[in-house]
Amino acid sequence: MEKEDLQLELNKLKREKSESERLLNEQLQAKEMELLQLKTEMETSQVMKSLTSTQDYWQVDRINSELKIHTLQEELERMTLEKHRLQEHCEDSSGTNCDQNHVESNPRYVLHLLRILLQV
């Protein structure tokens, strides 16, 4: 009888152990799923932040490019006016119509172009 009681107790302990292992495995799997979900959320957040940063970068770059184009257009207008002014100055001082090469070889015109190129 005592052997049977011990066997029953042993079987009961084995069942309890199996049940405990099953519960612990379920808890472990639940925690692994939770960890995986948190990791996925974190990676998604990082990707979204990266995309936002990239969009911000391209927006700033586009605005900078537009500003540079506008500045270059204004500079072109100033250069055109300066060229006409130099042509007029050349014509006034020589009394003749100055050709394009004469204006472009004028040291003031060349210095002006160099200043513009160094700014860009």
pLDDT tens across 33-78, in order? 999 999 999 999 998 888 888 888 888 889 999 998 888 888 888 8
CA distance 93 to 96: 8
What is the per-residue pLDDT for 85?
Answer: 83
Provide the token pair at 3: 């052997």
Average pLDDT for the chain: 82
CA distance 9 to 15: 10
CA distance 79 to 88: 14
- Examine the pLDDT at 109 and tell me if it is beyond 70: no
36 or 89: which leads in pLDDT:
36
CA distance 15 to 25: 15
What is the per-residue pLDDT for 16?
Answer: 92
What is the per-residue pLDDT for 103?
Answer: 53
Give the domain range for residue 7.
2-119
Domain count, the chain: 1
CA distance 45 to 70: 37
Provide the token pair at 32: 């692994």
CA distance 53 to 50: 5
90 or 22: which leads in pLDDT:
22
- Examine the pLDDT at 98 and tell me if it is beyond 60: no
